[in-house]
């Protein structure tokens, strides 16, 4: 059996702490950028496209589980290379058009590089899941170097987030087993209802905005 020395263990801990620092710093940067964009939008348009922001770092247990799923060893290098959602930010909006507005504002940041986009709103998953995913990198400025660090950004409406939260609880409940078909069917039906609700709420909001503009012109 291979014996790990105290120095090697300390080195591993230090490396893990450094990785945690990088991803935590990247989350702070993206979070601050989103808050500034939201404040600026309020100043210019008297409207906030962002309802609230949630951020999280993936737990070591979840990272190891994902690496095993990919058939990779549980190493720091593999974690950084293969696990793209270690740092995650969820942006919750009121309306679907806000999702694309926010995605454009993020893409236009000069120091953010968009690696991948997955639009599960225009192309929902078979389960009914809807959200807009962006994988980006943001530079983290350390004392001796700059490290481009990956962050996954999920942008969705309040209704889509409510649905996704329920789906997550159901999948957790049946982890390792198939979700009963009747529950799967009900989830898909609920996703359809969420989509229709978002469409109706967007139309209603546009009607209210038009009334405000017409009232100003009079």
Among 21-25, 50-54, 80-84, whose mean pLDDT is lowest?
80-84
Query: Is there a contact between 156 and 88 (Cβ–Cβ < 8 Å)?
Result: no
The H or E element containing residue 128 is none
* Residue 87, token pair as written in the block: 């740092």
Each residue's pLDDT tens digit, 156-180: 999 999 999 999 899 888 876 788 8
Domain residue ranges in the chain: 6-158
Residue 31: per-residue pLDDT:
95
Neighbours of 217 (CB within 10 A): 6
What pTM value is reported for the model? 0.86
* Cα–Cα dist 155/161, whole Å: 9
Dihedral sign, Cα of residue 55, residue 139, residue 105, residue 152:
negative
Residue 216: per-residue pLDDT:
55
Within 46-157, where are the H helices? 60-69, 76-82, 96-107
Class at the top of the CATH hierarchy for domain 6-158: alpha beta
Q: With 80 as the cut, is the pLDDT of residue 203 above it?
A: yes
Each residue's pLDDT tens digit, 126-147: 999 999 999 999 999 988 888 8
Residue 69: per-residue pLDDT:
87
Query: Is there a contact between 61 and 51 (Cβ–Cβ < 8 Å)?
Result: no
Each residue's pLDDT tens digit, 175-192: 767 888 999 999 999 999
């Amino acid at each position: 059996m291979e014996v790990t020395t105290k120095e090697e263990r300390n080195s591993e801990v230090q490396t893990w702490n450094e990785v945690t620092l990088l991803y935590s710093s990247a989350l702070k940067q993206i979070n601050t950028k989103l808050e500034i964009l939201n404040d600026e939008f309020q100043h210019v348009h008297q409207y906030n496209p962002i309802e609230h922001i949630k951020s999280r770092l993936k737990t070591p247990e979840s990272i190891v589980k994902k690496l095993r799923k990919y058939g990779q060893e549980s190493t720091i290098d593999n974690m950084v290379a293969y696990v793209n959602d270690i740092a995650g930010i969820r942006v919750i909006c009121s309306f679907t058009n806000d999702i694309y507005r926010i995605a454009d504002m993020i893409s236009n940041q000069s120091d953010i590089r968009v690696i991948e986009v997955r639009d599960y709103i225009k192309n929902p998953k078979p389960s009914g899941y809807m959200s807009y995913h962006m994988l980006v990198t943001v530079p983290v400025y350390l004392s001796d170097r700059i490290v481009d660090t990956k962050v996954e950004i999920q942008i969705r409406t309040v209704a889509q987030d409510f649905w996704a939260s329920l789906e997550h609880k159901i999948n957790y409940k049946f982890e390792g087993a198939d979700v009963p078909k009747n529950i799967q069917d009900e989830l898909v039906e609920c996703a359809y209802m969420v989509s229709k609700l978002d469409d109706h709420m967007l139309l209603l909001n546009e009607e209210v905005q038009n009334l405000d503009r017409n009232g100003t012109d009079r």
